[in-house]
């Protein structure tokens, strides 16, 4: 009888830690599976994206990034394969175009119409933000060195220019 108790105790000393390790392993596995499910179900952060192209009639000469552009009618769109980081602006007749870098921006509220926002220093205008209709997520143009220099000497104001959808890219 004593041998059975001793044998039982010996077996328990070996088996109980193994059961505890296995239980912890199953708990970790369960936690990992729940984490993977949560990450796949949870929506990813939305990136600013202009669907199709935006058309705007800009009544003044302006800068988009480092490009100096004349007043006129323009079309803006995200550059394909740029990971939503580069926009193209081109005149409606295609005679003038430029590429400029953008980053994500967030408006306080969703604009009722699409709009371009310009910083104004004296008579100089710099494109600063692009927002699509009904979407508070937009694109912001980082300040160029020239804008930083001009901004140090002048007072800033903002000018909003409405946009319209031109349609899907390529139309």
Residues with Cβ within 8 Å of 52's Cβ and at least 6 positions away in sequence, in order, are: 77, 165, 166, 167, 168, 169, 171
Q: Are 43 and 15 in contact (CB under 8 A)?
A: no
pLDDT digits (tens, 9 = 90+) for 2-34: 556 665 666 556 655 656 666 665 666 566 666
Residues present in the chain in total: 171
pLDDT digits (tens, 9 = 90+) for 76-89: 998 887 777 899 99
What pTM was computed for the model?
Answer: 0.66
Q: Is 114 helix (H, G, I), strand (E, B) or coil?
A: coil
d(CA 122, CA 58): 17
Q: Strands 53-58 and 72-78: what pairing? A: antiparallel
């Amino acid at each position: 009888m004593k041998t059975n108790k001793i044998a039982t105790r010996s077996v328990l000393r070996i088996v109980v830690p193994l059961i505890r390790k296995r239980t912890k392993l199953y708990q970790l596995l369960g936690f990992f599976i729940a984490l993977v499910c949560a990450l796949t179900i949870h929506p990813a952060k939305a990136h600013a994206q202009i669907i199709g192209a935006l058309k705007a009639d800009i009544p003044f000469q302006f800068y988009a990034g480092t490009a100096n552009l004349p007043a006129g009618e323009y079309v803006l769109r995200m550059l394909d394969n740029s990971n939503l980081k580069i926009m193209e602006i081109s005149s409606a007749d295609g005679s003038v175009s430029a590429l400029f870098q953008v980053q994500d921006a967030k408006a306080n509220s969703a604009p009722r119409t699409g709009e371009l926002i310009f910083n104004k220093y004296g008579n100089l205008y710099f494109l600063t933000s692009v927002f699509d209709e009904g979407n508070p997520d937009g694109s912001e143009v980082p300040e160029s060195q020239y804008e930083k220099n001009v901004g140090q000497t002048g007072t800033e104001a903002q000018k909003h220019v409405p946009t319209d959808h031109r349609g899907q890219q390529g139309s």
